[in-house]
Amino acid sequence: MAEAQPKPRELPYVAAITEGVRTVMQEQPDAFVAGEDVAEAGGVYGYYNGILNEFGPDRVFDTPISEEGIVGLGVGAAATGCRPIIDVMFMDFMGECMDEIANQLAKMRYMFGGRATLPVTILSMAGAGASLAAQHSQSLEAWICHLPGLKVVMACTPYDAKGLIISAARDDNPVIVVLNKMSLALMGPVPEESYTVPIGEANVVRSGSNYTIISFGRMVHEALAAATQLEKLGIDAEVIDLRSLQPLDSDAIVASVKKTHRAMIVHEAVRFGGFGGEVTAQIQELAFDYLDAPVARVGAPFSPVPFSPVLEATYVPNADRIVAEAKRQLGL
């Protein structure tokens, strides 16, 4: 009788982030962590806990409350040979350092003809759901995806959180790793060894034959829940987790649409001007003749994120809204 295989080790999303950072620090002697409250406090959500004790104050240090200064530190350090991990506590705060991100981090390698490399990894928290109100709950990935020179990834599982952080830190280009605060307790299998998740490669998390749902970040889980509901209506939905927004795996999207002939893009960010518009445009440019219906989009309403838990729950897209939009699109 064959021996039972041991169950894979599981970690919460927050611990997978910690393990990803620790792995980078172990592998790369020129890596360091800098940001507000990352050292003594271990970060606002605790995912740097233990990093200071293991690697010391020369490699893990708190900064003043100045996002522009923190990112500027990362730019300068990277240009002179270091591989910094920079923490921007909330994605909303990128407005405070957008000049450094847009005009320095994204452009310096190009402007120096490739002679300067900028291996900067920025970790930042996005997303609503914790009643943190309009200035601490936004999803602004469309901002940074519009900047040539940056890579942008979003992790929806503990496995991807660890693997994408390691991939980002090994890249010689600046990579922004967008994490989700409402996923911190999410459990999932995470190998103990070092591994990478390819940047620029989407993941088909559910195969299907007659409908495609494209998503990223926390909304992947809502898309999967919606696919289960749609199955009862005779709709066999394929769910794609983009994982990497910049570069975008257009081939995976087009391959799915050619198979299913219908598509929907789902994201937590405001629908108007959101990343879903780019995905929709690429589908109509690359796979228009395969479509049996217009591409549907689900996103948040055009409003700041409300503080009220009741209003916030209405604001954030969920599985029921995805199902309702699919039914509308298909005339069910």
Residue located via tokens 């087009």: 254
Q: What are phi and psi of 229, to 5 degrees?
A: -65, -40
Instruction: Give the helix ranges, DSSP H, for the chain.
Output: 13-27, 51-55, 67-79, 98-99, 108-111, 141-145, 158-170, 219-231, 250-260, 275-287, 309-315, 319-330
| 3 state SS for 6-69 | CCCCEEEHHHHHHHHHHHHHHHCCCEEEEECCCCCCCCCCCCCCCHHHHHCCCCEEECCCCHHH
Distance CA 144, CA 206 (A): 28
3-state secondary structure (DSSP) of residue 146: coil
User: From the candidates 19, 67, 141, 238, which is the catalytic residue?
Assistant: 67
Report the amino acid identity of residue 223: A
> Is residue 96 within 8 Å of residue 68, measured between CB atoms?
yes
Cα 285 to the chain's mean position, in Å? 25
Distance CA 207, CA 280 (A): 20
Distance CA 274, CA 214 (A): 13
User: From the candidates 19, 36, 100, 136, which is the catalytic residue?
Assistant: 136
Confirm whether 136 is a catalytic residue.
Answer: yes
> Is residue 35 within 8 Å of residue 62, measured between CB atoms?
yes
Residue located via tokens 């999207």: 253
Count of other CB atoms within 10 angstroms of residue 26? 12
Nearest-5° Cα angle at 139, 138 to 143: 115
Cis peptide before 12 (omega within 30 of 0): no
> Is residue 174 within 8 Å of residue 119, measured between CB atoms?
yes
Catalytic residue IDs: 67, 136
